[in-house]
Amino acid sequence: MTDDKYKIQKIDDYRWRIPREGKMRVDGIVYADAHMLEDIQKDESLQQVINVSFLPGIIKHSLAMPDIHWGYGFPIGGVAAFDMDEGVVSPGGVGYDINCGVRLLRTGLYRVELVNKLESVVNTLFANIPSGVGSHRKDLKLSQQEVKNVLKNGARWAVSLGYGTKEDLEHIEEKGCIAGANPELVSGRAIERGLAQLGTLGSGNHFVEVGYVSEVYHVEIARVLGLEKDGITIVVHTGSRGLGYQVCDDFLRVMINAARKYSIELPDRQLCCAPINSQEGREYLAAMACAANYAFANRQMITHWVRESFERALHIGPKESKISPVYDVCHNIAKFEDHIVEGEKKRLCVHRKGATRAFPPNHPDTPDAYKAVGQPVLIPGDMGRCSYVLVGTEKAYADTFGSTCHGAGRVMSRGQATRTAKGRSIAQELKEKGILVRADSRATLDEEIPEAYKNVTEVVDVVEHAGISKKIVQLKPLCVVKG
């Protein structure tokens, strides 16, 4: 099968090549099935895959996961790795919501115990965790110096103040703190935006979702992850809030000038970038690490308030709730990692934008608890269907720089979703399915209707059949707090 516009070539049922031509430095590789590929071609995301391939120092391929859709610069669902000496770093390859990511919590509770208490749980969560545009905590406003401590130390800062335990840190990517963060490179405006937003969901597709394990595909691996049939789980999806947005915005201006300064030819201004080893490149990475650490701390604080909310709503203590992280992964990040390139280990700068790290068993960066099974991969779906827990594989490490999809991927713009939802009560529709939902506004629910997203099961099936992740359990929602 080929496509006239992009000259797409079929590699197999789940991979497609956009062959290198003109100023492309590498091929584009798209993970999708045939039906999905038709939908992907309806926006400009494949052109963005091509555009990324123009960037200096790109290694092997410009990659796209099956949840790909149009984004700023890079497509959302895009992955690209760059040589440390010749390559570049691009804020468009990370995104505005730096370290938007997902944390999965397991519990000692079962579905039958929550059936008649869901309303109390969701109302307590909604009251305890601020959500919506500009949401902030009235009980936690930090000083500028304290924000800088958060930017330097990430989730460790939260744990040091009693918002969690040291064991929590063992179950977070990079143990909840990316090295090299320099708060002095973060603007006063970004710090100001971060003063009161720690421990908040924000808006858009962010959420806290209480669900249960509905299907188990690998019992032994699920047991290692602490997951079993009908066990209650909580998914936290949020990022670095206004602080991360401001860091990205500040450095886009820097990078536009840097691309000109270093004579980097850009097919799209949104791909503005600088050499990794330039002053601009180093400064962006140090500021990006600060925003990523803020996001890790944010999810850690929300974890604390999730624990508190469950105990309050159910009148139980920590020994009964047993809420602990399975894992916490970044979705929007650029990181230094070792990968095998042409038979040799090389240090690369890997950009993942709307993509999840998926390292295999026995990899040095796979947490000790999961060395035998591989790094947990958390793939949330929309609020009306389901989510999945997978693990990383050797094939992902070999083929995609240890990367996989990050979610369902939008198929409708927010405006289109709002028009589709007109005249409907989304909250009532979900309630009829047994799912309680709370949101800051009706507009949020309208923008986030389930049909605004691809079917996450189809997305997950692609990455499993392609061998870049292994499906372990399915989760179904019981109640959701939306951003």
Q: Which CATH superfamily is domain 101-482 in?
A: tRNA-splicing ligase RtcB (3.90.1860.10)
Q: What percent of the chain has pLDDT over 70?
A: 98
Say if residue 33's pLDDT is above 70. Answer: yes
Among 121-135, 356-370, 382-396, name the one with the lowest average pLDDT: 121-135
pLDDT at 136: 67
Give the pLDDT mean for 150-176.
97
Say if residue 1's pLDDT is above 60. Answer: no
Confidence category of residue 151, pLDDT binned at 50, 70, 90? very high
In terms of phi and psi (left: phi > 0; alpha: psi -120 to 50; beta: otherwise), the region of 444 is alpha
Closest CA to 236 of 193, 297, 291, 190: 297
Confidence category of residue 2, pLDDT binned at 50, 70, 90? very low
Residue type for position 69: H
pLDDT at 4: 65
Residues 23 and 26: their CA atoms lie apart, in Å, by 9
DSSP 450: G
Residues 406 and 154: their CA atoms lie apart, in Å, by 22
Residue linked to tokens 């997902």: 102
H or E, element range at 47: helix 45-52
SS3 473: strand
Average pLDDT over the chain, rounded to an integer: 95
CA dihedral 386, 234, 299, 350 (to 10 degrees): -40
Q: Which neighbouring-strand residues pair with 334?
A: 351
Confidence category of residue 444, pLDDT binned at 50, 70, 90? confident
pLDDT digits (tens, 9 = 90+) for 313-335: 999 999 999 999 999 999 999 99
Residues 113 and 478: their CA atoms lie apart, in Å, by 12
CA 395 to chain centre: 21
pTM: 0.96
184 to 96, 152, 247: CA distances (angstroms): 20, 10, 12
Strands 436-439 and 470-482, by their bridges, are parallel
Give the pLDDT mean for 160-169.
96
Say if residue 155's pLDDT is above 50. Answer: yes
pLDDT digits (tens, 9 = 90+) for 92-139: 999 999 999 999 999 999 999 999 999 999 999 999 998 766 666 667
Which active-site residues does the annotation give? Answer: 406
Say if residue 244's pLDDT is above 80. Answer: yes
Among 74-83, 333-342, 413-422, name the one with the lowest average pLDDT: 413-422
187 to 138, 142, 244, 255, 416: CA distances (angstroms): 23, 16, 11, 15, 35
Closest CA to 332 of 291, 277, 273: 291
* Contact between 102 and 380 (Cβ < 8 Å): yes
Buried b (16+ CB within 10 A) or exposed e, 221-254: bbebbbbeeebbbbbbbbbbbbbbbbbbebbbeb
Confidence category of residue 24, pLDDT binned at 50, 70, 90? very high
Listed by start position, the domains of the chain span 101-482
